[in-house]
Structure 1
């Protein structure tokens, strides 16, 4: 496959990956700030769907296209910018895996509370705080990955 086509797929999938993460975080955060259980239930339902549809698929496309471009361009895998990008990608993935589990629990608790007309349980808010705490390092990791991909500084 042509390098430009692979690069286009890589950039497009990174846009979906990062964009879905930012969008999901934005809507999930502000639905929760509203404390409207029905809104939280609806938003969390669609955040989980978006994560599986966009994040999970692009999380596979990114390393595959990245590796292919490295091979086509002749960069050594030992290049520091590549190694840092890979380490940060693993860090982001290590944050994302528990986030997906948390989002499914949050979705289920919010749906039950909305259905039953009850407030969200204290466990919901504990999981939500953990969700936020895991999102911050993942976001920072992706910002640096973008920098390394563009600047190739080291």
Structure 2
């Protein structure tokens, strides 16, 4: 029974992690495409809050529940699919950590532009380019993790 509860929580938190990631990325992308400073300021503020409320706890819980599942099932890191999934998780995390900083900076820049009645500065759009690049790298890594967890090849 404990195994099924931990597995369910692991799957649930991975769904929260993926869903929040893709949802906030879409929300922020659409606001940025609008070029509307008010919409962008609102979107960046909301995305930062969502990351703290949903993404961060899921990022922390995933490896903890994964370790618990490894302990309960006897699966080790020598298992190829698990090692690959963990490597992809670390890679996605390495993309996500700078994105968190970028989103906080983008939120500040958007708020300053909104309150100052100015356009967004070039620094915002440079950060946005890197935000898109890093997100485009992390997204397929997370999709591959889901595939590895379901199919467990080799």
1:24-61 CA distances to partner (integer Å, 9 max, x unpaired)? 10000000000000000001001001011111111010
1:85 alignment counterpart: 85
1:51-85 CA distances to partner (integer Å, 9 max, x unpaired)? 11111111010001011111111212210000000
Partner secondary structure for residue 32 of structure 2: helix
> Number of paired residues?
154
In 1, Cα distance between the equivalents of 2:20 and 2:12?
A: 12
**Alpha-carbon deviation of 1:98?**
0.2
Unpaired stretches in structure 1, ≥5 consecutive residues: none
Show structure 1 runs of 4+ deviating over 6 A: none
1:102 alignment counterpart: 102
In 1, Cα distance between the equivalents of 2:70 and 2:146?
A: 15
Unpaired stretches in structure 2, ≥5 consecutive residues: none
Taking structure 2 as the reference length, the TM-score comes to 0.98
Taking structure 1 as the reference length, the TM-score comes to 0.98
More deviation, 1-10/38-47: 1-10
Map 1:1-154 to 2 at 5 A.
2-154=2-154
In 2, Cα distance between the equivalents of 1:55 and 1:138?
A: 14
Partner secondary structure for residue 82 of structure 1: helix
